């Protein structure tokens, strides 16, 4: 147990160092990005600038990727404690679907929302739950590059509320299903592997659970369970 404790302390030190380094990297990275923008403008003016333009756009892609990692990493490392308030899940999801509608439409992904009639408030940090669901929706979209559909379902049970996000994508191979929530686990060329780690952190800090299941039709379901409103508001 003592060794565990030492190990846990070491991890928080490493975690703090990592957050610090990430923060330090963010500023130079944004200045690289700005200078790159200027360079792109200059190259666009050149007659024979095509090759340079390609090189610069390759650099741009990597700079963007590093920035995304830094932002997402910091949003995990510095996520504030959830400020939970009673919210109607239906309203929150309605607002979220209006927000993601256009990007899903462009990707030929249809979105359906199923909610039951009970209107029960759930104690959540609206911004954080929104982020958690957005990560699931974006993953679903990215799993279906040729298009498909996403179904978000909300059910209120006796002491909990359940939100599931289903897709008609290729599914997650069984041997990877246990790893998808691990920080930095990604199968995407430009993925950060932080989306599901953040999502799980958010749900668990709401005393909820999240699991990933295979659908018989072949797609994936992420199922979130949150305690219903009678739980203590921290």
Q: Residues in the site for ligand ADP, rule: CB under 6 A?
A: 135, 139-140, 143, 167, 169, 172, 180, 185-188, 191-197, 220
- Residues whose CB is less than 8 angstroms from the CB of residue 32 and which lie 6 or more positions away in sequence, other chains included: 63
Q: Closest distance between ligand ADP and the C-beta of residue 169, in Å?
A: 5
CB of 33 to ligand ADP, least distance (A): 20
The residue number whose beta carbon is nearest to Mg ion equals: 195
Return the number of the residue (18 or 134) whose C-beta is nearest ligand ADP: 134
Q: Which is nearer to ligand ADP, 125 or 167 (CB)?
A: 167
User: Residue 218 and residue 82: Cα distance in Å, rounded?
Assistant: 34
Largest CA distance in the chain: 68
Task: Pick between residue 153 and residue 228 the one whose CB is nearest to ligand ADP.
Answer: 153
Residue nearest to ligand ADP according to CB distances in the complex: 195
Q: Among Mg ion, ligand ADP, none, what binds residue 140 when CB lies within 5 to 8 Å by partner kind?
A: ligand ADP
Q: Cβ closer to ligand ADP: 99 or 184?
A: 184
For ligand ADP, give the closer residue by CB, 104 or 180: 180
One residue of 128, 139, 164, 199 binding Mg ion per CB under 5 A = 139
Instruction: Using the minimum distance from each CB to ligand ADP, give the nearer residue, 73 or 84.
Output: 73
Residue 186 interaction partner, one of ligand ADP, Mg ion, none, beta carbon < 5-8 Å per kind: ligand ADP
Q: Which two tokens stand for residue 177?
A: 């299903």
- Residue 194 near residue 69 (C-beta atoms within 8 A): yes
Q: C-beta of 67: minimal distance to ligand ADP in Å?
A: 14
Interface residue list for Mg ion (CB under 5 A) = 139, 195
């Amino acid at each position: 147990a003592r060794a565990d404790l030492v190990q846990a302390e070491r991890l928080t030190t490493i975690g703090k160092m990592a957050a610090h380094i990430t923060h330090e990297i963010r500023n130079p990275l944004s200045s690289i990005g700005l200078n790159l923008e200027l360079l792109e403008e200059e190259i666009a003016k050149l007659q024979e600038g095509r090759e340079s333009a390609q090189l610069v756009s390759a650099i741009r892609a990597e700079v963007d990727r590093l920035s995304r990692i830094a932002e997402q990493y910091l949003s995990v490392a510095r996520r504030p404690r959830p400020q939970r308030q009673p919210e109607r899940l239906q309203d929150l999801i309605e607002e979220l679907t209006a927000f993601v509608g256009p990007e899903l439409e462009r990707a030929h992904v249809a979105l359906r929302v199923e909610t039951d009639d009970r209107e029960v408030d759930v104690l959540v940090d609206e911004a954080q739950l929104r982020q958690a669901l957005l990560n699931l929706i974006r993953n679903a979209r990215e799993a279906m590059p040729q298009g498909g559909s996403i179904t978000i379902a909300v059910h209120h049970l006796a002491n909990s509320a359940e939100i599931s996000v289903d897709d008609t994508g290729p599914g997650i191979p069984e041997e990877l299903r246990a790893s998808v929530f691990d920080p930095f686990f990604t199968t995407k060329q430009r993925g950060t592997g932080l989306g599901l780690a953040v999502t799980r952190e958010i749900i668990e800090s709401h005393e909820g659970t999240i699991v990933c299941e295979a659908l018989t039709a072949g797609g994936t379901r992420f199922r979130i369970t949150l305690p219903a409103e009678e739980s203590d508001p921290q």
